[in-house]
């Protein structure tokens, strides 16, 4: 390639030179063969003009020497950016609408009987409420609705086990309410229960309505088409593990 003065070239952000038609015709065939350059028609890329002949728009070249992005990354010594994949926290929560609720003193008082061996009064407590929208309205009993509820409860138990294990690995206590018995899954035996139609769920962001024949829990988005499960932990909202779950909720 015949040496060209700098004034004959303009450069874009990737530092690939813009060549006019005369310069393009002077490119040796071996440059095209060996360097992975492709001559493309100028389709109006933004330029950073140097001194030289330019038109009113700041573009003066008909052809662009274009380099594949992966090749540019190789020249720069950096690998191409991989596609982001869901992390383990996102995968845990992907099938549930999850809310993280700090438990004030009023809520913690209601938890003393559920977790008698845990100091819930003098420690921070946080609830992770996992909700799943249902096809069936849970106000009206039906065989289909009951089967759907059982399937969701089974899914919740499997996910809750993973959540509890993950939180405990970070040095905090955690347990969840077995939706079938209303009792803590791991903690010591207690006569106290917490079913999803319990009034205490109104302290966790839900509405519990008395329908005369029964009580029903309502979700802010799903209404009564919902099944809810809850994990309790003494990990505070500002802890690393709860922040990880918060970020996963935002991304899901």
Q: Are 230 and 204 in contact (CB under 8 A)?
A: yes
For residues 111 and 118, what is the distance between their CA atoms, to the nearest angstrom?
9
Amino acid 173: pLDDT:
98
- Among residues 242, 246, 223, the alpha carbon closest in space to that of 234 is found at 242
Query: Average pLDDT over the chain, rounded to whole?
Result: 80
Tell whether the model's pLDDT for residue 181 goes beyond 90: yes
Is pLDDT larger for residue 12 or for residue 221?
221
Q: At 217, is the secondary structure helix, strand, or coil?
A: strand
Alpha-carbon torsion angle 136, 138, 142, 145, nearest 10: 50
Q: What would the pLDDT profile of 83-112 be if each residue is shown by its tens digit?
A: 667 789 999 999 999 999 999 898 999 999
What SS3 state is found at 65? strand
Which pLDDT value is given to residue 85?
A: 72
């Amino acid at each position: 390639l015949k040496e060209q003065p700098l004034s004959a070239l303009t450069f874009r952000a990737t530092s690939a030179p813009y060549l006019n038609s005369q310069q393009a015709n002077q490119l040796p065939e071996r440059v095209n063969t060996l360097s992975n350059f492709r001559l493309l028609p100028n389709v109006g890329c933004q330029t950073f003009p140097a001194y030289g002949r330019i038109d009113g728009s700041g573009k003066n070249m008909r052809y662009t020497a274009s380099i594949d992005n992966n090749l540019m990354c190789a020249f720069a010594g950096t690998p191409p950016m991989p596609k982001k994949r869901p992390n383990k926290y996102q995968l845990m929560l992907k099938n549930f609408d999850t809310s993280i609720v700090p438990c004030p003193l009023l809520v913690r008082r209601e938890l003393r009987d559920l977790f008698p061996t845990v100091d819930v009064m003098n420690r921070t407590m946080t609830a992770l409420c996992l909700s799943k929208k249902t096809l069936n309205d849970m106000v009206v009993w039906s065989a289909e609705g009951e089967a759907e509820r059982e399937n969701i409860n089974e899914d919740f138990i499997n996910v809750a086990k993973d959540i509890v294990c993950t939180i405990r690995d970070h040095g905090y206590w955690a347990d969840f309410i077995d939706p079938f018995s209303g009792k803590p899954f791991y903690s010591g035996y207690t006569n106290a229960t917490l079913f999803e139609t319990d009034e205490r769920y109104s302290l966790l962001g839900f509405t519990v309505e008395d329908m005369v024949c029964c009580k029903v829990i309502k979700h802010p988005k799903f209404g009564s088409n919902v099944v809810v499960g809850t994990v309790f932990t003494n990990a505070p909202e500002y802890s690393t593990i709860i922040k990880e779950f918060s970020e996963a909720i935002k991304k899901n």
